[in-house]
Structure formats: C-alpha cells, structure tokens
Chains A and B, each alone.
Chain A
Amino acid sequence: MVELITIGLTPPLLIAMAFSLPIFTLVVKRKLFYDIYALVALTIALILSLYNYYLVFYVVRGPIIYPFGGWPPPVGIVYEVDTLSAYFGIIISVVMLLIGMYSVWYLRGVSGYEWYYTLLLGLEAGMIGCVYTGDAFNLFVMLEVLSVAAYGLVVFYRTSHEAVEAGIKYSLIGAVATTIYFIALVFIYGAFGTLNMADIAFKSRTASEFPFSGVIVGNIHLASAIALALSMWAFTFKAAVVPNHFWLPDAHPAAPTPISAALSGLVVKVGVYAIIRFLYTIYGLDTLQPISNVVNLMMKVLIVLGMVSALIASALMIVQTDIKRLIAYSTIMHVGFIVTGLSLGTRLGLEASLYHTINHAVGKALLFLSAGVLINVARSRNIDELSGVGRYLQLTTLTLILSILSLEGLPPLAGFFSKLLLYEAFISSGLAILAVVLVVSSAFALLAYIKLLYGVYFKLPTREFNKVKEEWVYLTPLLILTALLIVLGITAPLFVNEVLSHISEELTNPMKYIMAAEKVVRVLGG
C-alpha cells in the first residue's frame, strides 16, 4: 500500500502547495521565487502522474486504489486510478507544466502573479482530483475545487469589464451545474446506499450485495435514470457541449492567455472524462434493464448534441474578429467531435475520442499560447490589428501554423490520425452522416483559420513592430508542444495499439475496475 501513496498524494500535495504560497508573500517579494515555486510544484505533479501511469500500465496492469485514512468505502473516500485516469492525469500534468513555463514569460510586469500561481496550482489539483477519484461525491468536491480556481483565473484582470462579466456568468451557471450534479448524487445515494464508483457499477449490473456497503436500499432504476439525466446536463456544461456552451466563448478570451490554454485544452476535458466515467464505468450498456436503455438513450442524445456543437461552433468561427474567441469556438467544435465519438458505444469510437482528446489538448494549448505571443506584441486581440505581426515572430508563427494544421487534420500531424479514426468510427457504426458533419465542420474551420493566418502573417503590417525579439522563455514550451504534436502523429499506430486499446478494453469491461475495489474493501472492511 505504501507505494500507492503517489495516487493519494498528488492532489493534496498540489492543494497544500497552493495554500502555502500566499504565506510566502509576507516575506518574499521577488517574482522569480514564485516562478520557481510553481514550476517545482507542477514538475512534482508530472513526476507523480508519470509514476502512476507506469504503475497502472506496466506494474499492476490494472486499476490501483488508495483508501484515504485506511477507511473502506463507502465510509471512507478512495482514489481509484485505472488506465483512463492515468491517461488523463498525464495529459493534464504535461500540458500544465508547459503552461507554467509559458506563464513565467507572460507574467512579466503583471501584478498579482502570486495569486495567479495559487489558483493555477489549485486548478491542477482539482483536475487531477477529478480524474483520480473513485468516489462520486469526491468528484463533486474536486469539480468545485477546479471550478473555483477557474472562476478566479477568468477574472484575473479584474479591472476589465469583459472579464468580470464573463466570470460572473461562468460562475453563476457553473454553480448551478455542480448543484445539479450534487442532486444527482442524492438520488444515487438514496438508492444504492453508496457513492463509491465501483460499488455503484457493481450494483447497477447485478443488483446484488457488495462487501461492506451491503444491498441496494431503493429503486435503483428510477434513481439511475434521474441521476444520469442530471449528471449529463452538468457534465455537458463542464465540457461546453451545445446548448451548455454559452459561457465558453466569453470566458476563455477574457482570461489571461495561459489560462485560456488550460481552460480550452484541459478543463473542458474533465467534463469529457466525467461523461466517459458515467456512461462506461459507473453505468454502461451492460447494466440492468432499464438503466442500460437510459444509457443508450443518453448516448444517442449526446451524438446529436455533439454534432450540433461541431456545426454551430465551426459556423461561428468564420465570422469572428477576436482571435481568442475564434479559437474558443474551435474548442466547442472539437469537443463536439469527441463527445460524438465516445457516445457511439463502440471501442473504436472510444479510442478515436480519447486520441482526439490528447491531440486537441496539445494542439489547442499550442494555438492559444502562440496566439498569446502575437497578442502581447500587437496589444490587441482583433485580427485586423494583428496585421502582419507574424512576420516579425517567425518561430512563433511557425508553431501557430503547425497547431492549426494539426487541428485541421493535416498528416503527419497528430490531429489527422484522430480525425481519421473518428471518421472510421462513424462509418463503421453505420452513421455516415456524422462523417459528413465532421468534414463540413472541418471545412468551415479551415475558412476561419485561413482568415486568421491571412491576418497575422500574409497581410501587410500596418504599423512597425521593430523592437520585437523572440525569446526562448516562451519558445521552449511552444517547441515542446510542437514536438509532441509531431511525435503523437508519427507514432499513431503504436499509440493506438499500446495505450488506447487498453483503455477502451477496460472501459468496455468494467469488472476489472469493480473487482480491484472489491478486493480492497474486503481487506479493509474485514
């Protein structure tokens, strides 16, 4: 059990480091200290996530559990990390470290960096907590940790009217969404007598007794139906799926650029993770009737919503003049693809969605961070006012172009392969219309990206940017992200076979997840 402490340690350590940081402001004023402090914390999180991934994929070859305080569930909270959790943990910690590196440059001359880093560490703690937890109530708590940090970061520029308005709207509806998820938990607890994910998963498939928590205590069919409807509404808000997407195009552009990258690249993916966890592990197509019918129905509704998201967002991308708003709409489009793929209920659909998740996280973070450099130099987010600025920042423009090409799906960049897999998944499910929507929305998005590139590079500069000089402080994370896009692309066959197939297998056969928890409960519960 001692070696598994890395699982339980990651989120609490990040939270402890986040809460300790403001204390240092009483004695240390230099920005360099806080830069190093945040980078050390983010590096530790990455090392722990890598170790957890190694444990799950290569040592234990199955889910691993850390019971807090040694209490068995449902009395205590457990973290249960399976291949899906480990995969999301890696994505979050890698991209967050690179965002942290970029922030060192971005926060030069900006006041309030100590609060920025406090919230950034809180944001990562919340995200990793969400993907590591094996307890549905703890997922609610971690969603709140993540959300509170995100609200604070969106209104970081608190003198900006736009940021304050976006933050208020985001937090108001966000609070409604998490409350609705909380109500879903009330129904689950009232019927299942537990909030442990493996326990609920077992009872929703067998309706029989689970060690320590005992038998079901209510109408699990009705409770599950209501809980699924409520939680899907809450998670589609977090993932920004139409019609729960309205907050995103306002909140993401208003936030500091590294935070826009984190929100678009990672935070919405936590919503995607939660949808997968509920539709495949906790519930699933193999659950008892009529729960499986509700799951099936929810998947069909999500397919429709995902495709509508892709079409609406790509159409709106074309008419944007704010570069960050354009990129924010692109996030809604890609999340639409991801949600549609995972809702097909097939292994191929899951693999395609999970592959697109990592490609979009890396590509979108790169796009936002590259655009942030151009915005910083031109002091404007308006594409017309960014005219020709890219000519003075050749390397940054190169990374911007590569991120766009990947998101558009140009081989051999990573985005092509995940879109190809999505395309295959749609066709093999007999839903050719989805493949058509994928192509049409990608074509709309291409028009928008051409407009962006025309503005920042091909259009002649309307003013001088003579003092512009590229710096390695921000180029390092940009080049690492670019390298990741290329590596993820050229290793596509290996990546699908070695990583994604294991995850999709575990998700479609959740008994491994259930049995791992049952074993621990038997030992701890006596």
Chain B
Amino acid sequence: MDVLTLTVFTTTLMLLVGLIVLVSYLVVRKEGSSKSGSEPYLCGESMDDFKAYISVGSSNLYWGSVSAILKKFYEVLRDRVHTGILNDWLVLMSLWFFTAVIISFIVVFVGG
C-alpha cells in the first residue's frame, strides 16, 4: 500500500473514531450547554465590562513572547522592509532584478 492510500485509509479510520466520540458526547451531555457565550452571569455587573477582562485581545496574543524573543527581527521586517513606501520596495525589487540579469550574463559568458 503506497503512502497516500495508507494516509487516506488511516485518516478515514480516525474520522470514524472521531465521529463515534462526538456522537457519544452529544448523547451524554447535559441539556442547556452554552452556545452564545452570554454566561457566566455575575450579580448584575455589566456584561461588556466583564467580557473585556476575561479575554486576551487577539492583537496581544503572542506579543509577550514575540517582543521578548524576536523584537529585533520584527523591527527590521516591519519597520524597515515592509514600510508601505514604494521607494523602499523598489530598492529590494531592483536588487533581485539586477542580480538576475547579472548572473545570467555571467553564466552565458563564462559557460558559453
């Protein structure tokens, strides 16, 4: 059995197991589970205020580790390379252009 067929076979089995687990869960779970995210209810406090505290902002996710480990890397990548300024882009794009042309010439004149 080749690797692709084997993977299809294995994942189909995994899917079946997953479906059995899901059906079992749906059968035994308690009624009234939350879907909307309106719980928990806290003694009349404003829900909006509460929600603002219990979730980490998506934009802050990983920022602690990113700024601790890769700060310099992102500074270069975001503030110097991906500036959104056309002239900055052209420098790098021209670099690839002239590299391609020059190495092609070298190959023809040296190899030809």
Residues of A within 8 A of B (CB): 169, 172-173, 180, 221-222, 225-226, 228-230, 232-233, 236-237, 243-244, 246-247, 249-250, 289-290, 293-294, 297-298, 301, 305, 312, 315-316, 318-319, 321, 382-384, 387-388, 391-392, 411-412, 416-417, 420, 424, 447, 450-452, 454-455, 459-463, 489-490, 492-493, 496
A417 to B10, CA, bound (A): 13
A447 to B57, CA, bound (A): 15
Asked if B112 contacts A490 (CB within 8 A), the reply is no
Give a binary string over B51-88; 1 marks a CB under 8 Å from any A CB, 0 the rest: 11011011101110010001001100110001010100
Asked if A454 contacts B58 (CB within 8 A), the reply is yes
Tell whether A289 pairs with B112 under 8 Å between CB atoms, given A305-B96, A451-B61.
yes
Q: List 9 A-B contacts (CB under 8 A).
A: A229-B97, A229-B100, A236-B96, A290-B112, A297-B104, A301-B99, A387-B55, A387-B58, A459-B55
Asked if A493 contacts B2 (CB within 8 A), the reply is yes
Which residue of A226, A290, A382, A496 is within 8 Å of B101 (Cβ)? A226
Closest to A222 in B: B108
Asked if B59 contacts A496 (CB within 8 A), the reply is no
Residues of chain B lying within 8 A (CB to CB) of residue A237: 93
Tell whether A460 pairs with B54 under 8 Å between CB atoms, given A312-B77, A447-B62, A493-B2.
yes
The smallest C-beta distance from A447 to any residue of chain B, in angstroms, reads 6
Asked if B5 contacts A493 (CB within 8 A), the reply is yes
Asked if A319 contacts B66 (CB within 8 A), the reply is yes
A247 to B86, CA, bound (A): 9
Residues of chain A lying within 8 A (CB to CB) of residue B36: 391-392, 461
A387 to B54, CA, bound (A): 12
**Cβ of B15 under 8 Å from chain A:** yes
Asked if A391 contacts B37 (CB within 8 A), the reply is yes
Tell whether A462 pairs with B7 under 8 Å between CB atoms, given A232-B100, A244-B96, A290-B111.
no
Asked if B37 contacts A388 (CB within 8 A), the reply is yes
Closest to B55 in A: A459
User: Which 5 residue pairs spanning A and B have beta carbons closest together?
Assistant: A455-B58, A412-B11, A290-B111, A225-B104, A229-B100
Asked if A233 contacts B97 (CB within 8 A), the reply is yes
Asked if A460 contacts B37 (CB within 8 A), the reply is yes
A225 to B112, CA, bound (A): 11
Asked if B2 contacts A297 (CB within 8 A), the reply is no
Residues of chain A lying within 8 A (CB to CB) of residue B12: 412, 490
Within 8 A of A (CB), among B4-53: 4-5, 7-8, 10-12, 14-15, 35-37, 48, 51-52
Asked if A411 contacts B11 (CB within 8 A), the reply is yes
Asked if A230 contacts B101 (CB within 8 A), the reply is yes
Closest to A491 in B: B8
A462 to B105, CA, bound (A): 60
Residues of chain B lying within 8 A (CB to CB) of residue A424: 3
Asked if A229 contacts B101 (CB within 8 A), the reply is yes
The smallest C-beta distance from B88 to any residue of chain A, in angstroms, reads 8
Give the residue among B2, B70, B86 with the most A Cβ atoms within 10 A.
B86
Residues of chain A lying within 8 A (CB to CB) of residue B63: 319
A496 to B100, CA, bound (A): 33
Apart from A411-B11, A420-B4, 8 more pairs, CB < 8 Å: A221-B108, A230-B100, A249-B82, A290-B111, A321-B59, A383-B59, A387-B55, A450-B61
Asked if B101 contacts A462 (CB within 8 A), the reply is no
Asked if B107 contacts A294 (CB within 8 A), the reply is yes
Residues of chain A lying within 8 A (CB to CB) of residue B58: 321, 383-384, 387, 451-452, 454-455, 459
Asked if B107 contacts A297 (CB within 8 A), the reply is yes
Residues of chain B lying within 8 A (CB to CB) of residue A301: 99-100, 103
Residues of chain B lying within 8 A (CB to CB) of residue A298: 100, 104
Tell whether A294 pairs with B96 under 8 Å between CB atoms, given A315-B77, A447-B62, A460-B37.
no
A256 to B92, CA, bound (A): 29
Residues of chain B lying within 8 A (CB to CB) of residue A463: 48
Give the residue among B4, B78, B99, B101 with the most A Cβ atoms within 10 A.
B4
A383 to B4, CA, bound (A): 36
Asked if A451 contacts B37 (CB within 8 A), the reply is no
Give the residue among A384, A447, A452 with the most B Cβ atoms within 10 A.
A384
Closest to A292 in B: B111
Asked if B89 contacts A246 (CB within 8 A), the reply is yes
A454 to B63, CA, bound (A): 15
Give the residue among A172, A173, A318, A489 with the most B Cβ atoms within 10 A.
A318
Give the residue among B57, B59, B95 with the most A Cβ atoms within 10 A.
B59
The smallest C-beta distance from A162 to any residue of chain B, in angstroms, reads 10
Asked if B104 contacts A244 (CB within 8 A), the reply is no
Asked if B37 contacts A246 (CB within 8 A), the reply is no
A489 to B12, CA, bound (A): 11
A404 to B54, CA, bound (A): 26
Residues of chain A lying within 8 A (CB to CB) of residue B74: 315, 319
Asked if B62 contacts A412 (CB within 8 A), the reply is no
A460 to B4, CA, bound (A): 40
Residues of chain A lying within 8 A (CB to CB) of residue B59: 321, 382-384
Residues of chain A lying within 8 A (CB to CB) of residue B82: 246, 249, 316
Asked if B101 contacts A243 (CB within 8 A), the reply is no
Asked if A229 contacts B104 (CB within 8 A), the reply is yes
The smallest C-beta distance from B64 to any residue of chain A, in angstroms, reads 12
Closest to A232 in B: B100
Asked if B11 contacts A493 (CB within 8 A), the reply is no
Residues of chain B lying within 8 A (CB to CB) of residue A387: 55, 58
A318 to B5, CA, bound (A): 34
